[in-house]
Amino acid sequence: MPAKKKSIKPRPKPLSELKQRLERLQERPISFIVSERFGEDDLTPTDQLVVDVEQGLEVATSSGGEGLPPHLRRMCSTPLLSMQQEYELFLRMNYCKYHAAAIVGSVNPNRPARAKLDEAEEYLARADRLRNYLLKANTRLVVSIARKFADNRNSFDDLLSGGLTSLVRAVEKFDCDRGFRFSTYATCAVRRDLNRVVNTRRRDSQRFAATPSDVLESVAEDEFQHPGQAVQRWRLLSQVLGDMMERLDEREKRIIRARFGFDEEGGKTSFSHLGKRMGISKERVRQLANRALEKLRDHECMEQLQALS
């Protein structure tokens, strides 16, 4: 009998180049702000700058960013936009994304047409060029805001990075048809986000760092448990506290001394007892004590104080 032929299942064909391109386009989220003007027959920009940016042509730069380091000057070298330029850049960016999304949605997934894929990719490339130019033209705004928020707890570079992320989101969400300048919208967005970052870091540092009351109580306990070791700590502590206490008014100094046993009576005095001695309410004493500790916490000597904890 003749041997039976084994049936070999054909291997699934790999996705064609066109289907792979379609998949990449479908995986990319294409969000845009719809405008009533999208229905017009001709949306060609009237400003030559917008035409050049969209087509990827070289655009002139300016010498902005005076007083900044070289890398920041380069970031701020894109000229400021007029209101008309800004409007047309946003309108064209959203129109390009709108048109790309419409083309991708119309492609036959089984037999994608190369011409349609080429057109969708070209519109997305134009949208990216327009968006990137808007970002560069508004970078100096983020630099200006980040410099105002920067301090010894919040580095300028970190704030600049966060501000640029906020700027990207603002560009994606801005509706140019409402008649407002983008700088107004972006300033609010960047300030809000950076303010949130600064406040979060402040809360975290206060939550995990040793407070003045922690250090004072720690040294006081050490005096009873390890008298010999406490002498040096008290000496160093008194030097640091002497500088810090100068920030307090007379009532605050009196409360802090009494609360931590530095006055003539010794021992930790209660808010109630302090209120009777000073002729004010218990709650007012508590408020003054918290205000005094807050002043001490923000003092530059706080780092030295934490080292003693």
Residue with the bigger pLDDT between 238 and 202: it is 202
What residue type is 128 in one-letter code?
D
Do 73 and 201 sit in the same domain of this protein? yes
Domain-located, residue 8: no
pLDDT of residue 277: 84
Do 259 and 148 sit in the same domain of this protein? no
Give the mean pLDDT of 195-205.
82
The winner for highest mean pLDDT among 60-69, 174-183, 193-202, 235-244 is: 174-183
pLDDT bucket at 176, cuts 50 / 70 / 90: very high
Do 41 and 136 sit in the same domain of this protein? yes
Alpha-carbon distances of 127 from 21, 131, 132, 239, rounded to whole Å: 18, 6, 9, 62
Lowest mean pLDDT across 28-32, 94-98, 126-130:
28-32
Domain-located, residue 11: no
113-149 in b/e form (b: 16+ CB < 10 A) is eeebbeebbebbebbebbbebbbbbbbbbbbebbeeb
Domain-located, residue 79: yes
Find out whether 178 and 133 touch, Cβ atoms under 8 Å.
no
Do 228 and 191 sit in the same domain of this protein? no
Mean pLDDT computed over every residue of the chain: 81
Do 216 and 291 sit in the same domain of this protein? yes
Do 95 and 188 sit in the same domain of this protein? yes
Q: Read out DSSP for 162-180?
A: HHHHHHHHHHHH--GGG--
Find out whether 59 and 136 touch, Cβ atoms under 8 Å.
no
Do 259 and 114 sit in the same domain of this protein? no
Range of the domain at 303: 212-307
Residue with the bigger pLDDT between 196 and 294: it is 196
Do 165 and 225 sit in the same domain of this protein? no
The domain boundary residue, chosen from 166, 187, 206: 206
Task: Tell me the per-residue pLDDT of 225-250, one tens digit each, with 9 for 90 and over.
Answer: 544 555 565 566 666 666 677 778 88
Lowest mean pLDDT across 52-56, 95-99, 276-280:
276-280
The CATH number that applies at residue 38 is 1.20.120
Judge whether residue 282 has pLDDT over 60. yes
| Number of residues assigned to the chain | 309
Find out whether 211 and 305 touch, Cβ atoms under 8 Å.
no
Domain-located, residue 3: no
Domain-located, residue 10: no
Judge whether residue 1 has pLDDT over 60. no
Q: Which two tokens stand for residue 54?
A: 């969209």
Do 201 and 121 sit in the same domain of this protein? yes
The domain boundary residue, chosen from 185, 206, 227: 206
| For the chain, counts of helices (H) and of strands (E) | 14, 0
Do 76 and 94 sit in the same domain of this protein? yes
Tracing tokens 């508590």 back to the chain, one arrives at 286
Lowest mean pLDDT across 35-44, 52-61, 192-201, 266-275:
266-275
Do 111 and 253 sit in the same domain of this protein? no
Domain-located, residue 7: no
Rounded distance between C-alpha atoms, residue 114 and residue 136, angstroms: 33
Which backbone phi and psi does 138 adopt, to 5 degrees? Answer: -115, 10
Rounded distance between C-alpha atoms, residue 86 and residue 107, angstroms: 32
Do 132 and 172 sit in the same domain of this protein? yes
Task: Tell me the per-residue pLDDT of 141-170, one tens digit each, with 9 for 90 and over.
Answer: 999 999 999 988 888 999 999 999 999 999
Lowest mean pLDDT across 106-120, 212-226, 283-297:
212-226
Task: Tell me the per-residue pLDDT of 100-141, one tens digit each, with 9 for 90 and over.
Answer: 999 999 999 999 999 999 999 999 999 999 999 999 999 999
Residue with the bigger pLDDT between 208 and 256: it is 256
pLDDT of residue 224: 46
Give the mean pLDDT of 170-199.
94
The CATH number that applies at residue 243 is 1.10.10.10
Domains in the chain, number: 2
The domain boundary residue, chosen from 206, 231, 256: 206
Three-state DSSP state, 204: helix
